[in-house]
């Protein structure tokens, strides 16, 4: 099973990708994680400012990762492709499902502003999570951190970058669906994590 999650910042792509990855035992591949783990400072600086990386560079990284043995039985692409050019670069790959996580822009900032990343596992939490009752943030505990691209100014740029590419990406995948090359679903990402997962899982089970 080969799945793509697209959506604006804060829509829950990473969270839902992680759940599906564990449930179906297929790797979750995040373009953002690949970039954050590389040593090329120019790409990291661009990303931290909220701008997209060159289509050719990021696609090359993704394709290289897809060649790993753990992708033979399927994979999940989290946040890739982000542009029409990137989508066309990988159209030779037979994708089964595209999940487009839609969330109103007014809900994005509250989600992002409270987002925390666990340094070791990479798991995403929110400052309001009940998890905090067992894992208090204090001067002695530095396991949770904010992403450098989650500040308000950078977030505005990230949303702008997403919006200017979304329509072309949406239209491309709708056309691919009409040609029966894949199944494209828009998911209401304003719901709870469990509700979103339930809606996604129903689609996977029924198809």
Q: Is 91 exposed, middle or buried (0-12, 13-18, 19+ CB in 10 A)?
A: middle
pLDDT tens digits for range 45-83: 666 666 678 899 899 999 999 999 999 999 999 999 999
What is the per-residue pLDDT for 18? 93
**Cβ contact 90:63 at 8 Å:** yes
What is the per-residue pLDDT for 108? 82
Strand order in the sheet with 28-30: 28-30, 75-78, 2-6, 97-102, 183-188
What is the per-residue pLDDT for 123? 66
Q: What angle do CA 7, 118, 83 make, to 5 degrees?
A: 20
**Integer-rounded Cα radius of gyration of the chain:** 17
What is the per-residue pLDDT for 125? 63
DSSP secondary structure string for all residues of 23-63: HHT--EEEHHHHHHTS--HHHHHHHHTTPPPPHHHHHHHHH
- Strand pairing category for 144-145 and 115-118: antiparallel
Q: How many angstroms separate the CA atoms of 207 and 201, rounded?
A: 10
What is the per-residue pLDDT for 133? 46
Q: Quickly count: other Cβ atoms within 10 Å of residue 149's Cβ.
A: 20
Low-confidence ranges of the chain (pLDDT < 50): 130-133, 137-140
Statement: the pTM of the whole predicted model exceeds 0.85: no
Q: Quickly count: other Cβ atoms within 10 Å of residue 192's Cβ.
A: 9
Domains of the chain with bracketed CATH: 2-108+152-206 (3.40.50.300)
Contacting residues for 3 by C-beta, under 8 A, at least 6 apart: 17, 20, 26, 74, 75, 76, 77, 95, 96, 97, 98, 99
């Amino acid at each position: 099973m080969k799945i793509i999650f697209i959506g604006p910042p804060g829509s829950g792509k990473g969270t839902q990708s992680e759940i599906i990855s564990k449930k179906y035992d297929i790797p979750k591949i995040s373009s953002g994680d690949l970039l954050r783990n590389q040593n090329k400072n120019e790409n990291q600086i661009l990303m931290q400012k909220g701008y997209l990386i060159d289509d050719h560079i990021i696609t090359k990284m993704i394709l290289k990762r897809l060649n790993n043995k753990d992708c033979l039985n399927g994979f999940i692409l989290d946040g890739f492709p982000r542009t029409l050019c990137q989508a066309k670069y990988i159209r030779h790959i037979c994708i089964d499902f595209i999940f487009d996580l839609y969330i109103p822009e007014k809900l994005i900032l509250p989600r992002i502003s409270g987002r925390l990343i666990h340094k070791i596992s990479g798991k995403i939490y929110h400052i309001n999570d009940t998890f905090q009752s067992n894992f208090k943030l204090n001067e002695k505990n530095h396991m949770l951190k904010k992403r450098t691209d989650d500040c308000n100014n950078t977030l505005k740029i990230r949303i702008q970058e997403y919006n200017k590419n979304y329509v072309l990406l949406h239209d491309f995948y709708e056309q691919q669906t009409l040609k029966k090359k894949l199944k494209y679903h828009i998911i209401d990402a304003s719901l709870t994590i469990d509700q979103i997962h339930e809606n996604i899982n129903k689609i996977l089970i029924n198809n």
